[in-house]
Amino acid sequence: MTTSSFHTLRYYLSEHPSIVGFRWSHTQSWGSTWSFLFTSIALYISAAVVLHVLLLILFRHRRPLPLGPLPAAHSLCMALISATIFAGTVLSAAAEIRDSRWLWRRSRTTPFQWLLCFPLGTRPSGRVFFWSYIYYLSRFVHALRSFNAIIRYRKLSFFKLFNHSISIFMSFLWLEFSQSFQVLAILLTTLVYSVVYGYRFWTAIGLPSACFPFVVNCQIVLLSCNLVCHFGVLLLHFIKGGCNGIGAWIFNSVLNGAILFLFLNFYGKRYLRRIKAGVAAVDGGCLVAEKMEMVKDKDI
């Protein structure tokens, strides 16, 4: 990438007036009210349940329904969105660190501490909160994957509905309460999602899959990193005398714990049961991985 191209990219991802001047507002930001949040989640769950029931009535057989290029298109879209949010958040965080470093010297705050623990009184405005807002909106696009699974397999997954709903809810809390840790959480999630959805697009267009459960391993890495970072936030909260939005962070931690429990319970039971039922007996590691990924796509 040339210098001029990098400067252009940096301008549109971190220095554009709409990004620098962003402010989370119930009157100016679309989808920023509590009524919108609860209504959208309720509509999402209701639509998924109604669609599932209708398909069960219309199609007695359980054979997969072809969706054509829709799953691949959704995966490509999510991969590009995630990569853009990741790049924008990196550049915006670097710009915020550059502009605020003089202020942090007074409180002896390092950039890494800021990524984990926002100072008390932080308001949801500026570059990183713009990308937090874009991430919040992208959760609705991410939730569309549930309908792909319902239409294709006529299988409604409580874990998928819960995970997507909580993802929307938590990203709203990040903005509403200027919650600490959100910058790192967005960076970790979008980095993993850009890889995961890129892989899903790769396999959806017929290219060979990995010789191990690739998506599951990425999800485990993401959950493990989030768990470590949560301990870092808690430590800094007591050392530095408080992190902004700690109440929302505590609620966020409880929801993350519930997701982690459901994740471990889901994979621990269903994967092991299906492997014991015959998947593990297939010769060839790549074939095993492909079947496990097929199981994953059907269930979550």
CA distance 186 to 175: 12
Whether 48 has a pLDDT exceeding 80, the answer reads yes
Closest Cα to residue 181, out of 238, 106, 128, 107? 128
The residues with which 188 forms a beta bridge, in sequence order, are: none
CA distance 50 to 44: 10
pLDDT digits (tens, 9 = 90+) for 147-187: 988 888 878 888 789 889 999 999 999 999 999 999 999 99
What percentage of the chain reaches a pLDDT higher than 70?
Answer: 85
- Residue 186 CA to its chain's centroid (Å): 7
* Domain definitions of the chain by residue range: 3-22+32-299
pLDDT digits (tens, 9 = 90+) for 250-291: 888 888 787 777 777 766 666 666 666 554 444 444 544 444
Beta carbons of 65 and 59 less than 8 angstroms apart: yes
More confident residue, 166 or 3: 166
CA distance 149 to 103: 49
Six-digit token string for 134: 């874009």
Q: Summarize the confidence of residues 108-115 as an average pLDDT.
A: 81
pLDDT of residue 295: 42
More confident residue, 1 or 297: 1
Q: Summarize the confidence of residues 47-55 as an average pLDDT.
A: 91
